[in-house]
Amino acid sequence: MNLVIDVVEENNKSVVNLSGEIDAYTAPNLKESLLPLTQKEGNTVEVDLGNVNYMDSTGLGVFISALKSTKENGSEMKLVNIQDRVLRLFKITGLDEIMDLNSTIRGVTE
């Protein structure tokens, strides 16, 4: 029931590897780690959700904040390797239309 957040910084790119569950308990930590990365102009933030097996609206909220921040700061964010169940929430809420998403090899996008 925890979330491990691992950030790897490269040139103009930050790779955020997440592992665990994103919920009301872990979302604040994620936000704290993610937002500063989106505040660097020209930075590309790649969030790897391959090992996130649970997420709810608290996670969606974090990614919405991060997306807004990218627009304000001239950075980019993409979410990659999203598992089926998590991707479903992005689709239900229509967020898949406004975010750069890339689903997992384990899942099939409709």
Partner 1 sequence: MERFDFIEMKVPAKPEYVGVIRLSISGIANRMGFSYEDIEDLKVAISEAITNAVTHAYHENDEGEVTVGFAVYEDRLEVMVADHGGSFDLNEIKDGIGPYKNTESVENLREGGFGLFLINTLMDKVQINNNYGVIILMTKYLNETEVDLDDDQISTTQ
For binding to partner 1 (CB under 8 A), which residues are involved?
1, 21, 23-25, 28, 54, 56-58, 60-61, 64, 85, 89, 92-93
**Rounded CA separation 63/35 (Å):** 9
Q: How far is the CB of 37 from partner 1 (least distance, A)?
A: 21
Looking at beta carbons only, is 12 or 53 nearer to partner 1?
Answer: 53
Looking at beta carbons only, is 12 or 109 nearer to partner 1?
Answer: 109
List the one residue out of 21, 24, 43, 25 whose CA is nearest residue 34: 43
**Rounded CA separation 4/107 (Å):** 22
